[in-house]
């Protein structure tokens, strides 16, 4: 990551602008686990081990990394309760919850066209399969 994410030169409406902002957000939540964590943390404060169980398939390392990044971007709040054993809770910020709202649009698209995409993919693969055999 050699580039700071300050204000881009605002390439305006050439399509490049939309591309950049789109990539900006996708780089942030396009990770394999970000969405799942944001959704969980939007429902209630969650603890580390809790996420390790809930977000099925995630490794301890990736959980820690993703949490760090989300916290860094101000999407998660990390609260340490100085008890023993230590208790750390992660909560989605208002920004993150708004992000989730925005994502609903995308899931809507996925649900509407899931069948069509699957069909297209199958058709494509069948064509290729014929060519190769």
Partner DNA sequence: CTGGATCCGCTTGGATACTG
Partner DNA sequence: CAGTATCCAAGCGGATCCAG
Bridge partners (DSSP) of residue 88 are 80
Partner interacting with residue 61 (select from a second copy, DNA, none; CB below 5-8 Å by kind): DNA
Q: Of 100, 87, 75, which Cα lies nearest the Cα of 48?
A: 87
Contact between 59 and DNA per CB under 7 A: yes
Contact between 44 and DNA per CB under 7 A: no
Contact between 98 and a second copy per CB under 8 A: yes
Contact between 40 and DNA per CB under 7 A: no
Q: Where are the alpha helices (DSSP H) in the chain?
A: 16-29, 34-43, 48-54, 60-72, 94-132
Contact letters for a second copy, residues 8-27 (x by CB under 8 A): -------x--xx-xxxxxx-
Q: How far apart are CA 8 and CA 17, in angstroms?
A: 9
Residue numbers of the site for DNA (CB under 7 A)? Answer: 31-32, 47-50, 57-62, 64-65, 67-68, 78, 85-89
């Amino acid at each position: 990551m050699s580039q700071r994410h300050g204000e881009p030169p605002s390439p305006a409406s050439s399509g490049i602008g939309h591309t950049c902002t789109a990539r900006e957000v996708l780089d942030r939540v396009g990770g394999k686990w970000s969405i799942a964590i944001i959704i969980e943390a939007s429902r209630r404060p969650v603890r580390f081990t809790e996420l390790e169980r809930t977000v099925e398939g995630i490794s301890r390392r990736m959980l820690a990394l993703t949490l760090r990044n989300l916290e860094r971007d101000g999407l998660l709040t990390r609260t340490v309760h100085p008890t023993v054993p230590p208790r750390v809770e992660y909560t989605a910020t208002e920004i993150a919850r708004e992000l989730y709202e925005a994502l609903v649009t995308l899931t809507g698209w996925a649900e509407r066209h899931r069948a069509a995409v699957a069909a297209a993919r199958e058709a494509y693969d069948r064509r290729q399969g014929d060519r190769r055999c």
